[in-house]
A = this chain, B = another copy of it.
């Protein structure tokens, strides 16, 4: 997020295209040129597909041109294993469709890259997914005649983070791609959301790769088609929220509450509405100071949430990537 965009004015950190679009819409109701959106629900699973088709649309919402699919399951944190299986199945189907839409062939060789720091629970999503997906590439290399039909070549790595390796993650992935020559990279990463409710209940699929500055850890170089030479599909799950975002949202909602509830208070409304942006940011900073102002927070139950959603993604990927694995019974292939 180096270039200035509308989102920054609202000082809200989000890695979800869905939230970026929501935020802009809140302040600029009406259709956004260059941004198409459709959404539907299936018994507690909410799907939203956003296409950013122009540079104008990209600038408006601060996300790169591309396709973004978001699966939201508000009740996902309730430890309901039947719902988890349904979400894995749905994710598998959507991901398979996404691959088809992106023009990825059924025999394309895939490298799954689990981004993030395995020592920081809310950042460990990628590495946990990597540990749980079915890896097959070595069978194709070592005993190609014995691989059953319906499987494709899948490899998987967790490259670590800069603070652990001393090497840009992007460079490590680049080196591995050059040696192992996949046709597609799938990068799994933990994200920041602006809403606690979306943490560990939402999965985003995007064909834009992983861009600098996104995700829970720090990245300075992208993991994209430009860098790697092969397409990169990113799978992200918000696992953290900036504390400043919570405060900011609180203030927004307080203002909108007064607007709705207190008829007579024209004066306040005027004052709040006309608060200059910089005043507003100073206000948020002031409020934040005693709260520990650049803290990033995650739900208390993060250990279990991460484990559950990583299993959903791993089993969904297994079903989506291998025709031999039935997408109606995906859970059996992960432990």
Contact = CB atoms under 8 A, between A and B. Distances in A.
Given A120-B303, A296-B299, A300-B216, A249 B291 contact: yes
A175 B228 CA distance: 13
B196 A243 contact: yes
Contacts of A283: 254, 257
B167 A300 contact: no
Given A251-B254, A254-B287, A265-B268, A179 B155 contact: no
B243 A246 contact: yes
A56 interface: no
A217 to B, nearest CB: 10
A34 to B, nearest CB: 27
Interface stretch (A47-55, A88-96, A97-105, A158-166): A158-166
A6 interface: no
Interface string A155-190: 111111011111110011011111110000000000
B286 A253 contact: yes
Contact of A295 (B196, B243, B250, B295): B196
**Binding site secondary structure of chain A:** helix
A175 B283 CA distance: 49
Contact of A180 (B167, B268, B295, B296): B167
A257 B286 contact: yes
A123 interface: yes
B179 A166 contact: no
A168 B181 CA distance: 12
Interface string A288-329: 001110011111111110000000000000000000000000
Contacts of A257: 283, 286-287
A121 interface: yes
Given A156-B165, A251-B254, 5 more contacts: A135-B165, A175-B175, A195-B291, A199-B292, A257-B286
